[in-house]
Amino acid sequence: MNKTTTTSPWIKIFQPSSHPKLRLFCFHSSASGASLFRLWGKHLPSNIEVCAIQLPGRETRIKETLITKWDDLLSSLTKDLQPFLTEYPFVFFGHSLGGLICFEVARKLRAKKLPTPKYMFISGRRAPHIPIDNQLHQASNQTLISTLREYGGTPEAVLENQDLMELFLPILRADFTLNEKYIYSLEAPFEFPIVAFRGINDTAVNLQQLSEWEKHTVGNFALHEFPGGHMFFLQQPETLIEAILKFM
């Protein structure tokens, strides 16, 4: 079988594996991109291939229009994923907004009777049936910058650079729009297991909101906390990766 190589703008494979036994699809958080997972392959066995999802309007897709509607996102992304889903087993990892996206992608795959992930790993995102009360997509620029500072992961020099913020804030606002305008619809829970993660000091999701992911699987459910805030794995991803590997 010839291994699929990607020309899709949606999928970035930083360290291709010639014969992967498993693909790890990683969905990034708001205002970030596929590069969030650029170095993950270095902490994984060579036969696990990291496929990082890249939303439009950032990094290699900076000239493309930002997406704020779920239908626009899911139809295009699912179409480009399809060639990758029948070759090797795969799992999903999504952080924050990425957790919600991979949940909806898995639902879309199931509806189309396509292969679904063996596991879904969700990080830093409340369960999808819990609405977001403190909406920020129409907040002032200053409020958005304060939120970024609270989440951690963005250097202070970047937060204080007006030119960079003029590029960065529309991406953040679009991603927050997608996250906050999401409307949950009731469907059957998944059969594959779900594992949820958070930083102990994460102000974006509390333990109760995270534990509610258990309602979305009839399989096993596990929950793990790590030291740190919302972007707890940014400096040392290997700690999180080790936890994921225990399930694979």
What are the catalytic residues? 96
Residue 234, φ and ψ in degrees, nearest 5:
-60, -45
Q: What is the CA radius of gyration of the chain?
A: 17
Calculate the CA 176 to chain-centre distance.
Answer: 13
**Which amino acid, 230?**
H
